[in-house]
Amino acid sequence: MKKTISVLLAAVLLFSLAACGSAAQTKPASQQTQESVAETAAPHPTEETTAQEAAVTDKVSERSGNEILVLFFSRTGEQYNVGVIEKGNTAIVAEMIAEATGADLYELLPADDHYPTTYKELTDVGLQEQRDGARPVYAGELPDFENYGTIFIGAPVWWGDWPMIMYTVFESTPLSGKTLIPFSTHAGSGLSGFDRSLAAAFPECTIAKGLAIAGTDAQNNPDIVRNTVTSWLSELVL
């Protein structure tokens, strides 16, 4: 009798193991791969990250008479290696900076938005503006910069330089004595001299260490970018 029960239990156990193995295979291979990548790629908060966030918070809370602005230019539509996007790469980074620092946020918009929404055509227009030394007009009025001691300035890199609309701002805006902090989104060119261009445009300003974020990361790896932004901010004197 005992031998019969043992045989039955063994059969039940084998059936259960087979059923579990079968259930695991019901997920498509692509889904299993995505889940594995998500588990390994998702960044986990570390003591260092937490300390950096605390450092940024302390700097912001101790700040007195030095309000912060994040001024940026960004584009939606078709962008390099990310397809058609609804929020621009630079806008994503700008919002992270503003959230971490409590800064005001201002998006620079063209008065005549003639920029194409397809990537190839957009780059063609950007190159032509650069060759022409164009100074596109921006819409509306800029913020009162008198209220801000620190200004983050960001844009996508267009042909190794700021988009020409940014120079419209640089050449018409007195920012003497401010601390200016550049940031870029790019497809491989990094900060691309944004800091040097600011220093040339505003010799009486302090130009702090800039940040460059790949556009693909802004769209596809926001948690990693947020950690990078936090680490960068923790090193700055705000």
Whether 218 and 188 have beta carbons less than 8 Å apart is answered as no
Is residue 75 included in any domain, yes or no?
A: yes
Within-domain flag for 152: yes
What is the extent of the structural domain holding 80? 69-235
Question: Does residue 223 belong to any structural domain of this protein?
Answer: yes
The answer as to whether 215 is a domain residue is yes
Token code pair at residue 179: 């601390």
d(CA 231, CA 210) in angstroms, rounded, equals 12
**Cα distance between residue 50 and residue 132, in whole Å:** 47
What token pair was written down for 93? 């980074």
**Quick check: is 99 in a domain?**
yes
Establish if 51 belongs to a structural domain. no
| Count of structural domains within the chain | 1
Q: What is the pTM of this model?
A: 0.79
Helices (H), the chain: 2-24, 29-41, 47-62, 89-101, 119-132, 164-170, 194-201, 215-220, 222-235
Residue 90 lies in a domain: yes
- Residue 62 domain-assigned? no
CATH number, domain containing residue 164: 3.40.50.360
From first to last of its 238 residues, the chain has per-residue pLDDT tens of: 434 434 333 443 333 333 333 333 333 333 333 333 333 344 556 777 778 887 787 767 666 568 999 999 999 999 999 999 999 999 999 999 999 999 999 999 999 999 999 999 999 999 999 999 999 999 999 999 999 999 999 999 999 999 999 999 999 999 999 999 999 999 999 999 999 999 999 999 999 999 999 999 999 999 999 999 999 999 998 8
